[in-house]
């Protein structure tokens, strides 16, 4: 194996390698819009999942049925918890999809999921097929990223931020 000759050509080669490595490890540094696109995809995916679960609680199980189920699982104040969880899943899911009040929607759903994790799923292990916490944890993690980073440019929040900044 032949080593590169000393001098400027050698440093140029190292510079190209580090640029490639930075692009591979941090693609957003080269393509800044990719962060906004990733936030959009994540918001929509998580929003759809949350709306589906909230709508199921409201329409299929009903709030009374959800409250009874929560009570059977040992959730305190099951009627209040059922109303809160259903509302933040449906309304918060829609807010995520639109990207409006995104950090608030994310945090409220994280609170709901933290309750589900601690009160219901943690004792069942990780796998969802056994009533475990893998889905709860995955959604929680995705919401944490969105709550901390915000909605991105492709959102109502982003549009309002740009409009306010232009004034």
Q: Is the pLDDT of residue 7 over 60?
A: no
Whether 162 has a pLDDT exceeding 80, the answer reads no
Looking at residue 25, its pLDDT comes to: 86
- Does residue 10 have a pLDDT over 50? no
pLDDT tens readout for residues 62-86? 999 999 999 999 999 999 999 999 9
Mean local confidence (pLDDT), 44-53? 98
Name the token pair of 50: 């949350």
In whole angstroms, what is the distance from residue 136 CA to residue 114 CA? 8
Bigger pLDDT: 98 vs 23: 98
pLDDT band at 15 (very low <50, low <70, confident <90, very high): low
pLDDT digits (tens, 9 = 90+) for 89-143: 999 999 999 999 999 999 999 999 999 999 999 999 999 999 999 999 999 999 9
Inter-CA distances, 153 with 32, 45, 102, Å: 11, 17, 12
The more confident residue out of 9 and 70 is 70
d(C-alpha 5, C-alpha 7), whole Å: 6
For 144-157, what is each residue's pLDDT tens digit?
999 999 999 999 99
pLDDT at 167: 67
Contact yes or no for 89/112 (Cβ under 8 A): yes
- CA 101 – CA 31 distance, rounded (Å): 26
Please give the average per-residue pLDDT across 25-50, as a whole number: 93
Q: Do the Cβ atoms of 80 and 45 come closer than 8 Å?
A: no
Domain ranges of the chain: 35-166
Measured from the Cβ of residue 159, the count of other Cβ atoms closer than 10 Å reads 14
Of the pLDDT bands very low, low, confident and very high (cuts 50, 70, 90), residue 11 is very low
């Amino acid at each position: 194996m032949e080593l590169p000759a000393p001098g400027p050509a050698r440093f140029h080669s190292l510079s190209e390698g580090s640029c490639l490595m930075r692009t591979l490890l941090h693609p957003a540094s080269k393509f800044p819009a990719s962060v906004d696109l990733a936030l959009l995809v994540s918001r929509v995916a998580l929003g759809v999942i949350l709306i589906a679960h909230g709508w199921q609680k409201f329409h299929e199980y009903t709030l009374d049925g959800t409250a009874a189920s929560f009570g059977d699982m040992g959730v305190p104040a099951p009627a209040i918890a059922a109303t809160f969880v259903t509302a933040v899943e449906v309304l918060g899911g829609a807010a995520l999809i639109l990207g409006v009040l995104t950090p608030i929607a994310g945090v409220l759903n994280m609170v709901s999921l933290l309750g589900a994790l601690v009160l219901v799923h943690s004792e069942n292990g990780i796998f969802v097929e056994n009533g475990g916490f893998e889905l709860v944890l995955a959604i929680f993690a995705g919401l944490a990223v969105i709550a901390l980073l915000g909605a991105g440019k492709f959102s109502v929040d982003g549009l309002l931020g740009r409009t306010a900044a232009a004034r």
